[in-house]
Structure 1
Amino acid sequence: MRSRGLILYDLDGTLIDSRADLAGAVNAMRESYGAAPVPLDFVVARIGNGQRLLVERSSEDIDAPLDERVARMRSAYAAGLLRETRLYPGVAEVLAALQKAGWCQGVLTNKHHEATLTILEGLGVRSLLNGVTGVEPGQPLKPDPAAVELAIKRTGWDRNGPAWMVGDHYTDLEAGRRAGLRRCFCRYGFGRPGGETWDLAIDSIYELARHLGVEVGDQCGRRSRLARDSRS
């Protein structure tokens, strides 16, 4: 059966809220050098360009090789990937509905590949995705359009229908733009759009399904209204 189209999702700030666990890993790395912990917001403002840049920007006051700091952060993070990380409301339900409706779905993230798989499997949504692309040695990162092409290849998409890049950060929007995909900006995430534009902005993952003509029970409209009301 031909697909309805393709959706590539970012992970952090799009499908999952991982702020607390990422900040915890950064602070575990810092504390291993005797440095003071940094606030959650400090770490969150530096998420979105891969763990190496996250570590570099979160530990500029530490006089130690960057590779060593990255290794310590990744070790701490691997020990608590799912300590506080959760799916955003509606993610599992929407992924299942879109899969049933014939959409090809994949994840494209600048998070380490093995950690990405562990999180998706632990949260019970790996089977709803046609492909997963995290960071591996020698692999391009978003916003490089080559990363998008690799992710598309891994999903096995038949190139039928529209293709979307869904994310909460300018790296997602730029990657989608440079690869020629439609772009959906997740306002509920913790990223920032920078100077990028988008084709659709959502306050709830339910709104993406509704825009694509896929209703998800009776909660679609209700959750969208709740999301809008929470900002007023």
Structure 2
Amino acid sequence: MNSKNIYLAKGLLFDLDGTLVNSLKDLACSANATRLHFGLSPLPEEKMVTFIGQGMKNLVFQALNQNEKLLEEGIQFFRTHYEKHCLDHTRPYPGVPETLAFFHEKIPMAVVTNKPYSFSKKILDHFCLSPFFLTLVGGDTCDTKKPHPEPILMALKKMDLSPSPEIILVGDSEADILGAQNAHILSCAVTYGLRKKEYLEKFSPHLLIQSFSELTQIIQPEL
């Protein structure tokens, strides 16, 4: 995990929630609205953050105390609520637009997220981030989610790239680090997102950064 070296990159992949955008408050609000729909009391954001990263179904399942009987209706309620409120408080992290602009047309980039495609695209479009990326692979784009390598490999195929140490996945969770390992590419964990540095270090990411703009200091295009 040496962030002082310069890494040559043929391609960059990014997670969305906790990496490109801070969406915790909107996700927590919709999850708590879903709990209230079933007569359950709200949970604090500190608890909700542990549910995020494995996709919408898992978030709702955990938010509803792992009650399978409530899951189908809960997912429908959450989806409807979040569709209306996913941009209430969500914002790009500092340095994200500028850093993506720095790499644009130098290194091919894509988003690989466990968040459903429609919500992901809506957020990227709203903040004018979509033009930076060649493709977007959402949590419902293929049959599996990170840490399974399939979504990562799908993105690389659409980018006309192959797995290699010159491909770097930037993310904020164990799903990103393990997904990169499973796809045989490098992982870069961000410590400003939804997981703390000490937790992320347990999964041995290749790089750790404290701010998104640090990428411009440690990554260069492979000529």
Check conservation: 1:48, 1:171, Cα contact below 8 A.
yes
> Aligned-pair distance for 1:61?
7.1
Residue number in structure 2 paired with 1:211: 218
Distance verdict in 2 for CA 1:210–1:137, change over 3 Å: closer
Opposite residue 120 of structure 1, the aligned amino acid is L
1:165 aligns with 2:169: yes
Report the Cα distance in structure 2 between the residues aligned to 1:165 and 1:79, rounded to whole angstroms: 30
Whether the 8 Å CA contact 1:130–1:156 is kept in 2: the answer is no
Counterpart residue identity of residue 207, structure 2: L
How far apart are residue 160 of structure 1 and its match? 8.8
How does the TM-score come out when normalised to structure 2?
A: 0.88
Q: Which residue of 1 aligns with 2:19?
A: 14
Work out which structure has the larger RCO, using CA pairs closer than 8 Å and 6 or more positions apart in sequence: 2
| Number of residue pairs aligned between Structure 1 and Structure 2 | 211
Matched residue type, 1:141: K
Matched, 1:126 2:115: no
Shift of residue 208, structure 1, vs aligned partner = 1.1
Distance 1:205 1:64, change over 3 A: same
In structure 2, runs of 5+ residues without a counterpart are 1-7
Shift of 1:196: 0.9
Aligned residue number for residue 183 of structure 2: 179
Task: Determine if contact 2:27/2:82 at 8 Å carries over to the other structure.
Answer: yes
Q: Call closer, same or farther: CA 1:158–1:33 in 2, change over 3 Å.
A: closer
Question: Which sections of structure 1, spanning at least 5 residues, go unmatched?
Answer: 215-232
8 Å contact 2:9–2:107 — kept in the other structure? yes
Q: Scaled by the length of structure 1, what TM-score is found?
A: 0.85
Could you say what the CA RMSD is over the residues aligned between the two structures, in angstroms? 2.1
Amino acid at match of 2:145: L
The counterpart of 1:95, out of the listed 97, 100, 103, is 100
For 1:84, what is the secondary structure of its paired residue? coil
Q: Percent identity?
A: 29
Corresponding position of 2:70 = 65
